[in-house]
Amino acid sequence: MDQDNKSVNQDIQNSPNIGTQPNPNRGQKKKKQQQQAKQAKQKMNQLKQLGQLNLPQGESNIHALTIVGQIEGHKVLPPKNKTTKYEHLLPQLIAIEQSPKIEGVVVILNTVGGDIEAGLAISEMLNSLSKPTVSLVLGGGHSIGVPIAVATDYSFIAGSATMTIHPVRLTGMVIGVPQTYDYLNKMQERITQFVAENSSVSGKRFEELMFETGELVRDVGTVLIGDEAVKEGVIQEVGGLGNAIKKLNTLIAEDKKQNPSKYQQAPPKNQQQPNPRESVMQAISKEQGMIESMNQDGDV
């Protein structure tokens, strides 16, 4: 009986145990779950930092740049405020300028304004891009959002969107001396000059809209709605997203005709580049073959 029990135990030990066999799919499933968790974490971080997500989509030659809420400058705004941080936009614009895949930029605006110098910095960066740009004002493009809207090659405004043009304001301590008002005047001249240079409205008319007293109840300035912004020459056309994309594609096609060298794509990275040494050896062997053929002709 003891020998029979020993043989049975040995058979059990030698037999494959299905319950303890490692499942190869389990490791792959765990790895996939870890990758999905990592991607979800990256998306959440991107949503917190930039306020937007890269939705899955096909290859596109147009980059959409959103400027929403309040434009945050040198001071950090309260956490409950919806903000656009200019230090996040400037690196994006540099990357857009250097990327060969991006051929045009559409700027979506729905902002209440914000820091003047930050807004002017974004405006100058957009205005100096070598690629075609189109802006679209949705909801509102108020205060310093006006220079950003006119900084592109072509500007659109929705029929229900509004733009508020008003004088410069100061927050914090104000020193009641003439120099303070001179500084405010210089800052307003910077904004007026930029808008006049990049739109159809004159500097004089823009200042008249800025200092209007019959529009706002407890403030100075003018509110322009849709067609009014176009009639004043601040914005070029009333339209929506379809109009903006169509116009941008037209500008890209025109730019390709005028500057074809700018759109020449570099060879793919996986394409095998010619070896310089092999090229030299081929040239030498070719010359040797020519010399041998010349010698043979001379002998004949």
Instruction: For the beta carbon of residue 166, count every other beta carbon within 10 angstroms.
Output: 20
Active site residue 88: no
DSSP 185-223: HHHHHHHHHHHHHTSSS-HHHHHHHHT-SSS-SSS-SEE
Active site residue 142: no
Query: Judging by beta carbons within 10 Å of its beta carbon (0-12, 13-18, 19+), is residue 242 exposed, middle or buried?
Result: exposed
Q: Which residue has the tokens 């941080």?
A: 85
CB 196 within 8 A of CB 233: no
Packing angle, helices 116-127 and 86-98, rounded to 10: 10
- Read off the DSSP letter of residue 103: -
Pairing mode, strands 162-165 and 222-225: antiparallel
226: left (phi over 0), alpha (psi -120 to 50) or beta: left
Structure tokens at 70: 């309040």
CB 145 within 8 A of CB 172: no
Side-chain-facing half-sphere of 50: CA atoms under 13 Å: 16
Q: Which of 134, 105, 141 is nearest to 229 (CA)?
A: 141
Catalytic residue among 63, 123, 135, 143: 143
Catalytic residue among 123, 155, 166, 199: 166
Residue 112's H or E segment, with its range, is strand 104-114
Q: Give the active site residues.
A: 143, 166
